[in-house]
A and B are shown apart, each in its own frame.
Chain A
Amino acid sequence: QVQLQESGPGLVKPSETLSLTCTVSGGSIRSYCWSWIRQPPGKGLEWIGFIFYSESADYNPSLKSRVTISIDTSKNQFSVKLSSVTAADTAVYYCVRSKGNSYGYPFDDWGQGTLVTVSS
Chain B
Amino acid sequence: DIVMTQSPDSLAVSLGERATINCKSSQSVLYSSNNMTYLAWYQQKPGQPPKLLIYWASTRESGVPDRFSGSGSGTDFTLTISSLQAEDVAVYYCQQYFTTPLSFGGGTKVEIK
Which A residues are within 8 Å of any B CB, using their own CB? 35, 44-47, 50, 58, 60-62, 94, 98-99, 103-108, 110-113
Give the contact-size bracket for chain B.
Answer: 20 to 34
Q: Total contacts A to B, CB within 8 angstroms?
A: 56
Contacts of A98 in B (CB 8 A): 97
- Least CB separation from A107: chain B residue: B52
Say yes or no: A103 contacts B102, CB within 8 Å.
yes
Task: Describe B's contact surface by its main secondary structure.
Answer: loop
B38–A107 CB distance below 8 A = no
Give B contacts to A, CB under 8 Å.
Answer: 1, 31, 38, 40, 42, 48-52, 55, 61, 93, 95, 97-98, 100-107
Contact among B42, B61, B100, B107 with A58 in the assembled complex (CB-CB below 8 Å): B100
- What are 23 A-to-B residue pairs whose CB atoms are below 8 Å? A35-B102, A44-B93, A44-B107, A45-B93, A45-B95, A45-B104, A47-B103, A47-B104, A60-B102, A61-B1, A62-B101, A94-B49, A103-B97, A103-B100, A103-B102, A104-B38, A106-B55, A107-B40, A107-B52, A108-B52, A110-B49, A110-B50, A112-B49
